[in-house]
Amino acid sequence: MIALSLAEISAAIGGELHLHGAHTADTLVDGTVDTDSRNIGPGDVFVAKPGEATDGHLFVGTAVAQGAALALVEHVVDEPVTQIVVPDVVTAIADLAREVVARVRAGGQLQIVGITGSNGKTTTKNMLATILRAEGETVAPVGSYNNAVGAPLTMLRVTRDTRYLVCEFGADAHGQIARLAGLVTPDVGVVLMVGMAHAGGFGGIEATVRAKSELVSAIRDGGTAVLNADDARVAGMATIAEERGLAIRWFGEGEIADVRASGLEVTASGTHATVTAGETSLPLHLKVLGSHHIKNALAATTAALALGVSLEDAVARLETVELAERWRMQVMGSDRVRIINDAYNASPDSVHAALRTLAQITGPDERMVAVLGAMSELGEYAVDEHAKIGLLAVRLRIPRIVVVGQEARPLYLAAVAEGSWSDEAVFFADADEAFAYLQGELRDGDRVLVKSSNSAGLRFLGDRLGESFS
């Protein structure tokens, strides 16, 4: 965080300042802001956030022992540290992030990109950050820091020297993207796609469209909307951009796209395409598996071009990306048994894409194995959407479908009903049972996809399989 006095911090968040020791209202604080006491070091700011499992106020002492200079709290804690008391610490860090970003932006150098979409946010964020870091100091979220806590904590990492801030905005209810994007009013807003992810929370696909369009409404006056020309729901957001007088840049595979891809090919070694922008066409060889990641690369490239980066530089930097993110199409195991651990997140669209990638990279003498768990936050659509995945897996001729967890059972039942033979799909109540089965079942030449939402925990099953067959 940039250096601010305790008085300035207190004023920004509307808090009550309780000084300790030699501190005065003019004492400057410039440490990292974090909600995890384990990450706190000398001079840092600890945010005592109440949670479902525990309360951050219980860890103020730990943060102090590690050198915290300041604690943001909802009530005074009996610990030897300066504290600012606020009604809600989550609201407080948002207010502080707004103040810090505004001060840095006033210096005239900082440019901000916001990214949203039902799928692909984290991958696109990582790709864009890779492109921009070669241009200047770039701040981007760690992992999927895209919610009411993670997004402001990312924003608070900017310094006076930061040239680019890349923000990822997730949401499972209306108004969340508007609030988060409103903290920084991005210069460039990227909308990737609208799918069934979080449809249960939003109340349907059209409601999801309205929620994602909040980013376009939050773009700074005179800014740029980067939109997916191949997604009709996203393309419809151009109306909002036009009404606001924003520039519009399209990405996709059609001729309308300002940055487009052709000649797409997916192999076991990566994903390949030709990328065209204007009169220039260049080959792109991504090490990241999956045709859907080409669309993410196009989005990142389009945003980078809007910020003045050349196509040549963008493509060259994209080709250095080794991994989209841990647990996202992460290749593990060995040439003998290849494990693709893609179990950090899952929606119907991302599972479709992952299954098709599995089919594309599996050779004629190799066997496809799909280890599938629940997709979360689908609400009333959960049974139907899981059943559709079961049907797709069978129709892709995946000979071994391993379904894990009771919430994914509709997937198993649909695969059994659609299957050509009795043992095509198997069901296990938990990951330990599935691991024991797979250790005996997997053989040389198997290509194994592990896919589920984070809450299903199959990413750890993927890790265990990767280690077992390394």
Rounded CA separation 354/396 (Å): 12
Amino acid at 62: T
Task: Give the pLDDT band (50/70/90) at residue 377.
Answer: confident
Portions of the chain given CATH number 3.40.1190.10: 109-318
Q: Say if residue 49 carries a ligand binding annotation.
A: no
Portions of the chain given CATH number 3.90.190.20: 330-468
Average of per-residue pLDDT values in the chain: 94
How many other C-beta atoms are found inside a 10 Å radius of the C-beta of residue 70? 25
Portions of the chain given CATH number 3.40.1390.10: 4-88
User: What's the N-to-C CA distance of the chain in angstroms?
Assistant: 41
Rounded CA separation 212/118 (Å): 8
Q: Say if residue 138 carries a ligand binding annotation.
A: no
Q: Say if residue 54 carries a ligand binding annotation.
A: no
Write the pLDDT tens digit of every residue in 16-73: 999 999 999 999 999 999 999 999 999 999 999 998 888 999 999 999 999 999 999 9
pTM for the whole thing? 0.86
Residue 188 has pLDDT above 80, yes or no: yes
Residue 78 has pLDDT above 70, yes or no: yes
Write the pLDDT tens digit of every residue in 444-462: 999 999 999 988 989 999 9
- Give the pLDDT of residue 171: 80
Q: Say if residue 120 carries a ligand binding annotation.
A: yes
In CATH terms, the superfamily for domain 109-318 is Mur-like, catalytic domain (3.40.1190.10)
Q: Say if residue 21 carries a ligand binding annotation.
A: no
Q: Say if residue 123 carries a ligand binding annotation.
A: yes
Smallest CA-to-CA distance from 122 within 373, 272, 382, 325 is with 325
Write the pLDDT tens digit of every residue in 323-369: 777 878 899 999 899 999 999 888 898 999 999 999 999 999 999 99
Q: Into which CATH architecture does domain 4-88 fall?
A: 3-Layer(aba) Sandwich (3.40)
Residue 200 has pLDDT above 80, yes or no: no
- Give the pLDDT of residue 52: 81
- Give the pLDDT of residue 214: 97
Rounded CA separation 455/315 (Å): 34
351 and 375 in contact (C-beta within 8 Å)?
Answer: yes
Q: Into which CATH architecture does domain 330-468 fall?
A: Alpha-Beta Complex (3.90)
- For residue 288, the 8-state DSSP code is S
Rounded CA separation 208/236 (Å): 13
Q: Say if residue 121 carries a ligand binding annotation.
A: yes
SS3 49: coil
